[in-house]
Amino acid sequence: MALLRSAIARCGILLAVAVGVGPVARGGHELPVYPSYYPHEIAITVVGSKAAAGGLRDGGIHAFVGEMGEFAPGPGEPVGSIASLGAWVLIKTNPASPLAGDSAGACRLAGTLLADMRQGGRQGGRQSGAQLILHPYPVTPLHGDYLYHADLAAAARARLAASTEAPAHGIRVRTEGALATGLIRPDWRATADGWDAAVTAVDAGALVAAATSASNALLAPRWVREGWYHAYRLLSENLVGAAEERRASDDLARLMAGDYDNQVERINRQRDLLTALTTSCRTLVAGYTLKREYFNAEFSAGVENIGYDALTGFASPIFLRTVKLKDFPWNGWLRLGIDAPAHAAWNPVAGFDDAFGRLMWFAIGDPALMPSPYDAGWTLNRFSDVAATPRP
């Protein structure tokens, strides 16, 4: 009790001193999102999933950057998790197939596959069926600009539902990767030759990272987090015909250059581009998955106050600027695990373009802007526009 009274007294003295100080300084390390601490050491260690699970449980690592497969914390274990966009699942119909010779046939085939994926997910009888969130539109609810496209996403679901037929026999589906293979019933899986449709998964974090350039001044380009840009990267081959390609290219160029009169025109150009990209069923997005990443939440050896990115999870600057060690009010030793070793050059001009290097650069780089955690924009990193308050 004496210690508590002493602590309260010291807090009172500090408060009195703070109240007596003059106006807030206009410079320094002002942040829109205040960091919990600046760790004076960040250790990034490459570990496998099994070792990472043990490290999270016993405090050997504070967080694991990347997916951990089938890891699931047991009841009462001090392990927390966050979820971000994992991957888009794409269906590509083969124009040489008799089932997809025209546009209507391609949509019927895609609808049949979607219906079977939904049935497989409900039954839980396939390896990856329960992981897929059916959403036949490239802009997901995890994108900051999703509200501009919500009605178009609903229309896409209705259009494919109308063209859905009962699961048929004899469909040959080529798959790439474990996720895609687990979504397709075994008797439909085909080899490289003679396929009606192909199912693939595109990692969201990898797509964002591949399109991002980093320096100590900025992360660019500014549209790398926008849903319309991701849609173009996924579905640009749906643009068929000179007129359609020309209109879409004009919309794309104007959006990238900021060449529009107002926000209404900007949103309408985004929607026009998405409409052109999603009209065809030659290639379409079946849905998306969530990526779950884990951290040690034990008191008091774990971490708290965790910020993360809706598209890239822990692999983001906001994570390193917000995560706080429970044992330390300031400073401390942050221990992170990652699933892939470094293989790129370590320099800000032509390097730091692998997962390990990007995470390290997020820790040591100091760009003016960094991605906002939950929207498509950017937030100030080291300063903010604070309105001056005149003295009375």
- Name the phi and psi angles at 56, rounded to 5: -70, -35
The pTM of this model reads: 0.85
Any domain includes 34: yes
Quote the CA–CA distance of 386 and 334 in Å, as a whole number.
31
- Name the phi and psi angles at 183, rounded to 5: -85, -15
Residue 63: other Cβ atoms inside 10 A? 26
List, for residues 9-60, the tens digit of each pLDDT value: 333 332 233 333 334 334 444 444 444 456 788 999 999 989 999 999 999 9
Q: Over 70: is that where the pLDDT of 124 sits? A: no
Cis previous bond, 39, omega within 30? no
- Name the phi and psi angles at 58, rounded to 5: -100, 5
Residue 301: other Cβ atoms inside 10 A? 14
Q: Where in the sequence is the domain holding 360, given as residue range(s)?
A: 29-84+291-380
Give the residue ranges of DSSP H helices in the chain: 2-20, 49-58, 103-123, 150-162, 178-183, 204-210, 227-235, 242-257, 263-278, 317-322, 355-364
What pLDDT band is residue 70 in, cutting at 50, 70 and 90? confident
Residues with Cβ within 8 Å of 44's Cβ and at least 6 positions away in sequence, in order, are 336, 337, 338, 356, 359, 360
Any domain includes 69: yes
Q: Over 60: is that where the pLDDT of 279 sits? A: yes
What pLDDT score does 146 carry? 96
Q: Over 60: is that where the pLDDT of 233 sits? A: yes
Any domain includes 358: yes
What pLDDT band is residue 165 in, cutting at 50, 70 and 90? low
Any domain includes 263: no
What percentage of the chain has pLDDT greater than the value 70?
83
Residues pairing with 372 in the sheet: none
Sign of CA dihedral 22, 26, 29, 30: positive
Question: What are the DSSP calls for 258-302, one per residue?
Answer: T--SSHHHHHHHHHHHHHHHHS-SSEEEEEEEEEEEEEE--TTTS
Q: Is 66 within 8 Å of 338 (Cβ atoms)?
A: yes
Cis previous bond, 300, omega within 30? yes
Among 258, 220, 252, 213, which Cα is nearest to 236's? 252
List, for residues 89-98, the tens digit of each pLDDT value: 999 999 999 9
Q: Is 234 within 8 Å of 136 (Cβ atoms)?
A: no
Please tell me the least confidently modeled range out of 10-14, 40-44, 134-138, 279-283: 10-14
Any domain includes 300: yes
Number of compact structural domains in the chain: 1
Any domain includes 143: no
Any domain includes 242: no
Any domain includes 391: no
Q: 3-state class of 73 per DSSP?
A: coil
